[in-house]
Amino acid sequence: MKYLIYALVVTTVVSCKKAITPNKTVKTQNAHIVDTIARPQLTLKQANNLVKLPLHCIETEYPNKMGHVTSSPEDQKRPTVQHPVFYGCFDWHSAVHGYWSAVTLLKSFPTLEAKEELLQKIKHNLTAQNIKVEIAYLNTANNTSFERTYGWAWLLKLQQELDSWDSLEGKKLSVILQPLTDIIVSRYMSYLPKLNYAIRVGEHSNTAFGMAFAHDYAVHSKNHAFKKSIESRARDFYLNDTDCPISWEPSGYDFLSPCLEEVDIMRRILSETDFHSWIKEFLPGIESGNLEIEIGKVYDRTDGKLVHIDGLNLSRAWVLYGLAAQYPQYHHLIETADAHMVHTLPNLVADDYAGGHWLGSFAIYALQNVRKK
């Protein structure tokens, strides 16, 4: 299936006033810059294309990477039986953020062309009975840590999106998902105090990424104990970090920036004064515009690991957009975020499932965090 879904994005992002060389280091010398890169925006036309990804993948059972610990021969089940809600999109966590993408687009664009078809698929799968099966799976002896913490984080993000969807469908689906979400919150609160060391990698298990999304949900749900637990461990893990080696990035399979994910959680939990003091030591020179990072390049988008780098560019962008939105003195970093988006969005015009089953969610979340000029 050809995912020719980013045509409008391509038209928008390549119409820059000044050509950029995406393989070069992006460097901003001072905060008084002139914008030279077209800033992508999430529009209805783009949404009508982007929605084709969750529309296709949330009910695509195969290929499927189960991530399952088998206890007995009887424990071998097909994906639709094992995970009757989140069986599509190649793996469980991608299915979860596939639903998040669908809900986000439905909320943002009530006149979405595929609205009725997408709603039908969501409501067919996301039922109270199916959620009970998902919960039963998480309660099996060998799978209590299933999808810790990347899938957990996206499940919380999906719950937050449903909770804030002011519609009859949103209210019903929110109630249906909540019992599974409550288990994830409980698992998170049990896990964090036992985790002695942060996981500082660019893939699924990155502690900072999971904590950032979890913190958003804790604030949204007014769960003060959960929020306090996250903030306490984040300080334990990251408060004394200095001189993050961002020049080492990216490594081969990154789809998250180990350095910038720390920034993303710390901007959420520290006071303004404490955060500015922390980031000056953590990424020296960033406050004056010195952030030297190479935009990630992908040579084979049919390789499920190598295509992770496209995700890295998008996740870097959403971190920088979020930082600049919270603290205007970092506005100069928006140009760096724009450069990552300009380079990456056109590359997503592809027909390979290796990236297509998940990169749409990263693109939507990054575009959701873009601020207009």
DSSP assigned state of 293: E
- Spans of all domains in the chain: 7-125+237-368
* Predicted pLDDT at 140: 94
- Mean pLDDT, the chain, whole residue set: 89
- The mean per-residue pLDDT over the stretch 124-149 comes to 97
For the segment 33-88, what is each residue's pLDDT rounded down to a tens digit? 445 777 888 999 889 988 999 999 999 999 999 999 998 888 889 999 999 999 99
pTM of the model: 0.90
Please give the share of the chain, as a percent, with pLDDT higher than 90: 79
DSSP type of residue 25: E
Rounded distance between C-alpha atoms, residue 311 and residue 344, angstroms:
9
Residue with the bigger pLDDT between 355 and 163: it is 163
Name the band, by pLDDT with cuts 50, 70 and 90, for residue 5.
Answer: very low
CB 367 within 8 A of CB 40: yes
- pLDDT of 32 over the 60 cut: no
Determine the Cα–Cα distance for residues 268 and 63; give it in Å rounded to an integer.
Answer: 37
| Closest to 44 (Cα-Cα) out of 116, 106, 112, 100 | 112
Give 23 or 298, the one with higher predicted confidence. 298
Per-residue pLDDT tens digits for 189-238: 999 999 999 999 999 999 999 999 999 999 999 999 999 999 999 999 99
**Tokens in use for 169?**
């469908």
Q: Percent of the chain scored above 70 by pLDDT?
A: 89
Query: Could you tell me which residue, 162 or 22, shows the higher pLDDT?
Result: 162
CB–CB of 265/208 below 8 Å? yes
Q: Which amino acid is at 36?
A: T
Kindly report, residue by residue over 248-291, the tens digit of the pLDDT. Answer: 999 999 999 999 999 999 999 999 999 999 999 999 999 888 89
